[in-house]
Amino acid sequence: MKRAFLAPGLLLIVVAIGGRYTLDRAGLLELAWVDLRVIGLAVALVVLALDTVQRDRAVREGEGWLVVAVLFFVFQIASALWAPPAARVGPQVLDLVLLIVLVLAFYQYSVGDPETVVRFTFQLFFVAAIIYALAAIFISGPGEQGRYSAFGGGPNVFARIEVLGVISAIALFMLTGRKLPLLVIPLFLLATVLSGSRGTLVAGGVVGFFALLKLRHRISAGAIAAAGVVAVVAVGAIWALAPPEFTDLFQERFVEQTVQEQYLSGRTDIWMAAVRMFADYPVAGSGLDGFYGLIGVNQAVEYPHNYVLAVAAEGGLAGLGLMTASIVLWTRVVRGGGARPQLTGLAVAAAVFVALSGLFSGDYYDSRLAWMFAGLAAAAALSQPVDHERRSLAVAR
């Protein structure tokens, strides 16, 4: 079995990280209609086709979760038929079509050689997190709310990339034994705090806690003590060397707003509105982008800021059932790690982190990284290990 080309993965991940990147974000207002996602995916599919030709596809069973996931996405697209008049059906359908293509393409790319793809994916996210952090701190600076982001994206998406950078640094250390990636983690944590994304920090903390809980028997007391010392030193260094904006943002958003005022950016009101909509349309939901078409258009709210509640409100029990079935089938595939426990576990951690972040912010397209990492974890669990050298000798004979 030949190893995977890196080009398809690079294009697919860049498209996924880039989000909805139209040329108006680069200052070319007259070309605002050009969606670089479409161009990037078209090129990526051509390169992926060339890569697929020279590789065997090893997986044939255990892909029911992916079939149900695609059915779930197709149902969401079909729900545009009963969406309210004010719903933004066109852009939402395009998002879901591109989401389907991204998930299927990345899974197809992963199944033939998950070892190479897992390592390359975390390497790329590690580099991307560094670039985004430096761009946010030294180029973009704080936005109107004092929150940091990079390349025209939102603070919450920026924070996800930074926490994925933390996971990637740990993954590279586990896969290569090199400690250098761990030294960059304070930069990622600083950038995450500067984003002001409280939901992302909670999601990252939950994943980190359960990861430590799972690995508690493999970690020595000395390693835990060393990690604690490094953490304390890192926090002290960040607090001492960070710009004044850092302390001001931390004091205002995390201490005053969250702890003292218990302010959640109106999330509870938005979530309750989504729950009431689910009660009004319990079977098939209000239709694609129905939340905006019935509520958000009058209250300047784009979406429910909770992936599960959005599915419930706009897809009803039918949408929730398909989504739940896909998750349950996927859990059965990755439980125990399958053929590659370490690789599977790392990809699962990334997928669960993005999924938990989606409970606080983001729309359907913002879930793309969760589904892509889920595909990567399933590929690592299902694909049988192959001795590349032995396979090459067999082919030569």
Q: Which two tokens stand for residue 37?
A: 């996602």
Please tell me the least confidently modeled range out of 85-89, 99-103, 148-152. Answer: 148-152
Length of the chain: 397
Tens of pLDDT, residue by residue over 299-336, are: 878 889 899 999 999 999 999 999 999 999 999 999 88
Tens of pLDDT, residue by residue over 260-304, are: 444 455 678 899 999 999 999 999 999 999 999 999 888 878 889
Confidence check: pLDDT of 391 > 60:
no
Helix (H, G, I), strand (E, B) or coil at 191: helix
Q: For residue 148, list its beta bridge partners.
A: 142
Q: Would you place residue 392 in the very low, low, confident or very high pLDDT band (cuts 50, 70, 90)? A: very low
Residue 289 to residue 91: CA distance in whole angstroms: 10
Q: Would you place residue 141 in the very low, low, confident or very high pLDDT band (cuts 50, 70, 90)? A: confident
What 8-state DSSP symbol labels residue 181?
Answer: G
Residue 133 to residue 189: CA distance in whole angstroms: 10
Residue 356 to residue 280: CA distance in whole angstroms: 26
Contact 180, 123 (CB under 8 A): no
Q: Looking only at Cα atoms, what is the longest distance across the chain?
A: 73
**So what's the pLDDT on residue 218?**
63
Q: Which two tokens stand for residue 276?
A: 């009431």
Tens of pLDDT, residue by residue over 339-355, are: 788 899 999 999 999 99
- Neighbouring residues of 244: CB distance < 8 A, sequence distance ≥ 6: none
Residue at token pair 């669990």: 381
Residue 80 to residue 89: CA distance in whole angstroms: 6
Q: 140-148 — which CB contacts under 8 Å span 24+ positions?
A: 142/194, 142/245, 142/249, 145/196, 146/196, 146/245, 146/248, 146/249, 146/252, 146/253, 147/194, 147/195, 147/196, 147/197, 147/249, 147/253, 148/191, 148/194, 148/195, 148/196
What are the boundaries of each domain within the chain? 6-54+64-386
Tens of pLDDT, residue by residue over 8-24, are: 889 999 999 988 777 66
Q: Which two tokens stand for residue 371?
A: 């589904």
Burial bucket for residue 194 (CB in 10 Å: 0-12, 13-18, 19+):
buried
**So what's the pLDDT on residue 379?**
92
Helix (H, G, I), strand (E, B) or coil at 144: coil
Q: Would you place residue 393 in the very low, low, confident or very high pLDDT band (cuts 50, 70, 90)? A: very low
Check residue 4 and give left, alpha or beta (phi > 0: left; psi -120 to 50: alpha). beta
CA-based nearest residue to 252, from 193, 188, 203 = 193
Contact 47, 39 (CB under 8 A): no
Complete DSSP assignment for 81-97: GG--TTS-HHHHHHHHH
Residue 113 to residue 106: CA distance in whole angstroms: 12
